[in-house]
Amino acid sequence: MSSEISDAIFLAAVYLGVVYSTRILETWWPIADVPGSEFRDDWLAVIVSIGLENLLAPIAAISVGIIASYTGLGWIKLPTEGYWWYASLAFVVVALDLYKYTFHRLQHAIPFLWAMHSFHHSANALTFITAGRHFWLERVLSDAFLPILAILFRVPPDMAIAAGFIFFVPDACAHLNVRIPLGRFVTWINNPQWHRIHHSVHPEHRDKNFAAFFPLLDILFGTAWVPKPDEYPATGLVPAERVDIINSVIWPIRHLRHGESKNELG
C-alpha cells in the first residue's frame, strides 16, 4: 500500500473519529434538537461539495499558477529563526483571520457572492458538519482567484499546517450544536453561541458576528452582537429552504427550476 493511500486512510479515520465524537457531544449537550432530515441534508451537501471541489481542483491550481507567474509568490519573507517562528505564526493567524473576515463580509454584500454563500446559510439546524456545507463553486473560485496571502507572504509548510490546526478549533467547531457557557469569555474566541447569531433568522442579527477566529474584529468594525447567556436563536434562511442533490449542484439558479422568486435573508 502506497504512503499516499495510507495517509488518506489515516486522515479519513481521524476525520470520522472527530465527527463521531462531536455527535456524542451534540447528543449530550445540544443547543437545539436537530431532525434527522437536517443532519442528512448537511451530509448530502458536504459530499456534493467535496466531490465537485476535488473534481475542479486542477483548474483552480492552473489559475493560481497563471496568477503566480505574473505576480510571484511570497513577496514578504517572514522570519522563522528561534522565537521569531512563533511571532510569525501569530502574525499569519491574525492576517488569515482578517482576510477571512473581509471576504466573509463581501460574501454578504455582493449579490453574486451571496447567491453562492446563501447555500451555507440555508442550514435550518447547525451541527459540526455544517462547517463543510458550502456551495462547491464558491471555494473553487476563492482558491483560483484569491491566493492573496500566498502572494504576500512566504509561509513555511510547517507554519501553514500549524496555522490551519489553530484555526480548526474555533472556525470548524463554531457550528457545533453544543451548549458551551462561556459567560464573559464569549467575545474572546469564536464559538458556537457567537457564530449562531450569524446564522440567526432574526432581522436584528443580520450581518453580525462574521469573525472566524477573533470576535475582536467584529467589535472593532461594528459587526458584533454579544449574545445574552441564553440567546440561541433559530437558524436558516427566511423563508426556509430544504436542500436536495440537484439544488446542491445548481444552488444560485435553483429558482429557475420552478420559475420561483425568493426573498432570502442575507
Decide if 58 is inside a domain.
Answer: yes
Identify the pLDDT of residue 217. 97
In a domain, 4, yes or no: no
Beta strands in 61-206 (DSSP E): 76-77, 153-154
- Please indicate, yes or no, if residue 80 is contained in any of the structural domains: yes
Tens-digit pLDDT profile for residues 99-128: 999 999 999 999 999 999 999 999 999 998
Cα gap 254→242, rounded to integer Å: 12
**DSSP E strand boundaries for the chain:** 76-77, 153-154
Would you place residue 263 in the very low, low, confident or very high pLDDT band (cuts 50, 70, 90)? very low
In this structure, what C-alpha cell is assigned to residue 191? 464559538
Query: What one-letter code names the amino acid at 6?
Result: S
pLDDT at residue 185 greater than cutoff 70: yes
> Which range has the worst mean pLDDT, 6-20, 90-104, 180-194?
6-20
Range of the domain at 235: 31-257
| 2 in a structural domain | no
With beta carbons less than 8 A apart as the criterion, state whether 128 and 175 touch. yes
Instruction: Give the per-residue pLDDT at 265.
Output: 57
183 vs 190: CA distance, rounded Å: 13
Residue with the three cell numbers 493511500: 5
- How many other C-beta atoms lie within 10 A of the C-beta of residue 162? 17
Residue 73, domain member (yes or no) = yes
Q: What is the dihedral of CA 224, 123, 31, 177, to 10 degrees?
A: -90
pLDDT (tens digit, 9 = 90+) per residue, 124-158?
A: 999 988 998 999 999 888 887 777 888 888 888 89
Quickly state the pLDDT bin for 261 (edges 50, 70, 90): very low
In a domain, 161, yes or no: yes
Q: CA of 181: how far to CAs of 158, 229, 232, in Å? A: 33, 7, 11
- Indicate whether 266 pLDDT > 70: no
Q: Is 103 within the bounds of a domain?
A: yes
pLDDT at residue 21 greater than cutoff 60: yes
> Which is more confidently placed, 174 or 170?
174
Quote the pLDDT of residue 234: 94
pLDDT, average across residues 187-216: 96
- 23 is a domain residue: no
Looking at the 3D structure of the chain, how many domains does it have? 1
Judge whether residue 33 has pLDDT over 50: yes
Q: In whole angstroms, what is the distance from residue 55 CA to residue 174 CA?
A: 27
Is 24's pLDDT higher than 70? yes
